[in-house]
């Protein structure tokens, strides 16, 4: 495991002050200073402890089921005339990539002597992954979730409760991921000593973007090894991933960031269309700002109020983007596309029928752009299939082509 290698000095990695180019930092009120300072001072040293790496590797292997397969999608490849591989994060325990990070952070929290865990969740995947590791370690768990998301992701709410977590509805603002994150941060301000905040995406104050990215970097580490075995080369031509805050993309890109031959494609949630007023395509609509204590691209009004985003997918329904991705966008290292709700749905139905895999709505955004990149037939394309679609069944069934509300 390479989670703690030294990357300072690389153009695309975090610098000593917690910035990626002009993005990042820790814009926190003084009340959060001790918590964040403690993490900043300790995270790399803890990640570098041999005992930590060993425990992390062992849990990823025996508990999560890693390495996750790199699957050559034959029929999908035929359709899009390229060699398409799916990185099967959907096959992880709990059904998404989120658990890579929660395993890492729970081990870190234990070493910091924390006894209580809080988290935010959008689609519920990170909430479930957090509730899972808290059950595993016997720690108290409180998950904040937007009231709207609680309604649209009911199966995951039930799972969290069964795992012993308390799910607290975030009723402020847009009542989605952004507000869940606000509430988690407020909880942390009020519980500065015993509580660790397991932030689920590559956003928030430094060191979270870097820490979460390092835990998720196992995705690209495995891709390299698996591609070498399957194709004789380590590097694909393309890596594609969906982006809300951007943790699966950060993990899928990580070991390719300094490999200029590998083209990185990020797909944001276009909602009902980028300029429809109902979108979460941050790089297209955002300006420099501060959200959840990070300086990054942010959807906001001309008065600097944070805009309420929209996406059919709760996991991408976020008005900001992790600072690493803002930097990849600004430097042109990654190409940013966006997919509408409808394009994502069609891609989900297509993958289901071509490959027998029902993807999460989030991952479907990435899949939906396979037809819009000019691949050559020999191009090796890796799509990060970040999660499975169980939680989205209600939405899928409701929107099935030809479904008029009768029997399905």
Residues serving a catalytic function are 98, 120, 386
Q: Does 189 bind another protein (CB under 8 A)?
A: yes
Whether residue 37 contacts residue 31, with contact meaning beta carbons closer than 8 Å, is answered with no
Indicate the residue among 135 and 290 with the shorter CB distance to another protein. Answer: 290
Token readout for 39 is 């993490």
CA 327 – CA 112 distance, rounded (Å): 31
Site for another protein (CB under 8 A): how many residues?
A: 32
Contact pick of 106, 291, 360, 381 for another protein (by CB under 8 A): 291
Contact pick of 34, 51, 277, 371 for another protein (by CB under 8 A): 34
Q: Does 298 bind another protein (CB under 8 A)?
A: yes
Indicate the residue among 216 and 283 with the shorter CB distance to another protein. Answer: 283
Burial class (CB in 10 A: 0-12, 13-18, 19+), 390: middle
Q: Does 21 bind another protein (CB under 8 A)?
A: no
Minimum distance from CB of 26 to another protein (Å)? 7
Query: 230 vs 23, 220, 226, 235, 236, CA distance in Å?
Result: 37, 15, 6, 11, 11
Q: Does 178 bind another protein (CB under 8 A)?
A: yes
Q: Which of residues 258-287 bind another protein (CB under 8 A)?
A: 287
Q: Does 185 bind another protein (CB under 8 A)?
A: yes
Total Cβ atoms within 10 A of residue 397: 10
Q: Does 25 bind another protein (CB under 8 A)?
A: yes
Q: Reduce the secondary structure of 79-135 to three states and give it as a string.
A: HHCCEEEEEEHHHCHHHECHHHHHHHHHHHHHHCCCCEEEEEECCCHHHHHHHHHHH
Q: Does 305 bind another protein (CB under 8 A)?
A: yes
CA 9 – CA 42 distance, rounded (Å): 20
Q: b/e string for 16-42 if b means 16 or more Cβ within 10 A?
A: eebbbeebbbbebeeebeebbeebbee
Q: Tell me the window of 26-34, 123-131, 277-285, 341-349 that interacts with another protein (CB under 8 A).
A: 26-34
Q: Tell me the window of 158-166, 217-225, 300-308, 362-370 that interacts with another protein (CB under 8 A).
A: 300-308
Contact pick of 190, 332, 374, 407 for another protein (by CB under 8 A): 190
Q: Does 306 bind another protein (CB under 8 A)?
A: yes
Q: Tell me the window of 45-53, 75-83, 121-129, 304-312 that interacts with another protein (CB under 8 A).
A: 304-312
Q: Does 6 bind another protein (CB under 8 A)?
A: no
Token readout for 192 is 């500065």
Q: Which of residues 315-344 bind another protein (CB under 8 A)?
A: none
Contact pick of 155, 173, 231, 354 for another protein (by CB under 8 A): 173
DSSP 160-206: HHHTTPEEEEE-STTSSHHHHHHHHHHHHHH-TTTEEE---SS-SST
Residue 258 DSSP label? T
Residue 346: enclosing H or E segment and its boundaries?
Answer: helix 341-355
Minimum distance from CB of 24 to another protein (Å)? 12
Q: Does 233 bind another protein (CB under 8 A)?
A: no
**Interface residue list for another protein (CB under 8 A):** 25-31, 33-34, 172-173, 178, 182, 185-186, 189-190, 192, 287-293, 298, 300, 302-306
């Amino acid at each position: 495991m390479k989670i703690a290698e030294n990357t300072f000095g690389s153009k695309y990695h975090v610098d000593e002050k917690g910035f990626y180019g002009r993005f990042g930092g820790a814009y926190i009120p003084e009340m959060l200073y001790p918590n964040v300072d403690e993490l900043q001072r300790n995270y790399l040293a803890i990640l570098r402890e041999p005992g930590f790496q060993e425990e992390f590797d062992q849990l990823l292997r025996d508990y999560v089921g890693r390495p996750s397969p790199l699957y050559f999608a034959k029929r999908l490849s035929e359709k899009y005339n390229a060699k398409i591989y799916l990185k099967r994060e959907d096959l992880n325990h709990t059904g998404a990539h989120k658990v890579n990070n929660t395993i890492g952070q729970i081990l870190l929290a234990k070493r910091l002597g924390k006894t209580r865990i809080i988290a935010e969740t959008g689609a519920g995947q990170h909430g479930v992954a957090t509730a899972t590791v808290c059950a595993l370690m016997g720690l108290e768990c409180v998950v904040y979730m937007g009231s709207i998301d609680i309604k649209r992701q009911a199966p995951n709410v039930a799972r969290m409760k069964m795992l012993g977590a308390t799910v607290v509805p975030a009723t402020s603002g847009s009542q989605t991921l952004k507000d869940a994150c606000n509430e988690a941060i407020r909880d942390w301000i009020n519980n500065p000593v015993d509580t660790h905040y397991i932030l689920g995406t590559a956003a928030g104050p430094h060191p979270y973007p870097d820490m979460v990215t390092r835990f998720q970097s196992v995705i690209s580490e495995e891709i390299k090894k698996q591609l070498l075995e399957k194709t004789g080369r380590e590097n694909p031509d393309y890596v594609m991933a969906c982006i809300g805050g951007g943790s699966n993309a950060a993990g899928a890109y990580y070991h390719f960031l300094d490999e200029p031959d590998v083209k990185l494609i990020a797909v944001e949630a276009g909602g009902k269309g980028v300029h429809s007023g109902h979108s979460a395509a941050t790089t297209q609509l955002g300006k420099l700002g501060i959200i959840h204590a990070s300086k990054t691209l942010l959807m906001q009004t001309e008065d600097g109020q944070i805009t309420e985003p929209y996406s059919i997918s709760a996991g991408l329904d976020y008005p900001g983007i992790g600072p690493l991705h803002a930097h990849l966008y600004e430097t042109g290292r990654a190409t940013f596309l966006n997919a509408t709700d409808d394009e994502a749905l069609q891609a989900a139905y297509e993958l289901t029928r071509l490959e027998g895999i029902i993807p999460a709505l989030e991952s479907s955004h990435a899949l939906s752009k396979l037809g819009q990149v000019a691949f050559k037939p020999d191009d090796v394309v890796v799509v990060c299939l970040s999660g499975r679609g169980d939680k989205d069944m209600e939405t899928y069934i409701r929107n099935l082509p030809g479904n008029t509300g009768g029997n399905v």
